[in-house]
Amino acid sequence: MSTETVTSSSTTAAKRVTTQTLLAMRDEETPIAMLTAYDYTSARLLDEAGVDVLLVGDSASNVMAGHETTLPITLDQMIYHAQCVVRGVQRALVVVDLPFGAYQGSSREALRSAIRVMKETGAHAVKLEGGATVLESVKRILEAGIPVMGHLGLTPQSIYKFGTYRVRARDNDEADSIRRDLKRLAKAGVFGVVLEKIPSELAVELTQSVDIPTIGIGAGVGCSGQVLVTHDLLGLTKDFNPRFVRHYADLGEAVVDAVGRYVEDVRLGAFPSEAESY
Ligand code: KIV
Report whether residue 59 contacts ligand 1, using a CB cutoff of 6 Å: yes
> Among residues 147, 127, 160, which one has the least CA distance to residue 57?
127
pTM for this entry: 0.94
The Cα–Cα gap between 83 and 4 comes to: 33
Report whether residue 138 contacts ligand 1, using a CB cutoff of 6 Å: no
CA of 129 to the centre of ligand 1 (A): 10
CA of 273 to the centre of ligand 1 (A): 44
In ligand 1, the atom with minimum distance to the C-alpha of 60 is: 1
Please report which confidence band the pLDDT of residue 238 belongs to, taking 50, 70 and 90 as the band edges: confident
Report whether residue 237 contacts ligand 1, using a CB cutoff of 6 Å: no
Report whether residue 232 contacts ligand 1, using a CB cutoff of 6 Å: no
Percentage helix, strand, coil for the chain under 3-state DSSP, each rounded to 5: 45, 15, 40
Query: What pLDDT digit, counting tens, does each position of 133-158 carry?
Result: 999 999 999 999 999 999 999 999 99
Element containing residue 78 per DSSP (H, E): helix 75-88
Asked whether the bond before 156 is cis by omega within 30 degrees of 0, the reply is no
Tell me which of 164 and 1 has the higher pLDDT.
164
Give the residue-averaged pLDDT of 149-177: 97
Residue spans of beta strands (DSSP E) within 3-72: 32-36, 53-56
Query: What pLDDT digit, counting tens, does each position of 17-43 carry?
Result: 999 999 999 999 999 999 999 999 999
Report whether residue 215 contacts ligand 1, using a CB cutoff of 6 Å: no
Answer left, alpha or beta for residue 53, where phi above 0 means left and psi between -120 and 50 means alpha: beta
* Average pLDDT for the chain: 95
Element containing residue 96 per DSSP (H, E): strand 93-97
Q: Which fold has domain 9-247?
A: TIM Barrel (3.20.20)
Query: What pLDDT digit, counting tens, does each position of 91-136 carry?
Result: 999 999 999 999 999 999 999 999 999 999 999 999 999 999 999 9
Percent of all residues in the chain with a pLDDT value above 70, rounded to a whole number: 95
Residue nearest to atom 8 of ligand 1 (CA): 57
How distant, in Å, are the alpha carbons of 180, 208, 209, 238, 246 from that of 199? 16, 15, 16, 25, 18
Q: Which pLDDT belongs to residue 28?
A: 98
Percent of all residues in the chain with a pLDDT value above 90, rounded to a whole number: 94
Please report which confidence band the pLDDT of residue 12 belongs to, taking 50, 70 and 90 as the band edges: low
How distant, in Å, are the alpha carbons of 1, 13, 14, 16, 164 from that of 10? 13, 5, 8, 12, 49
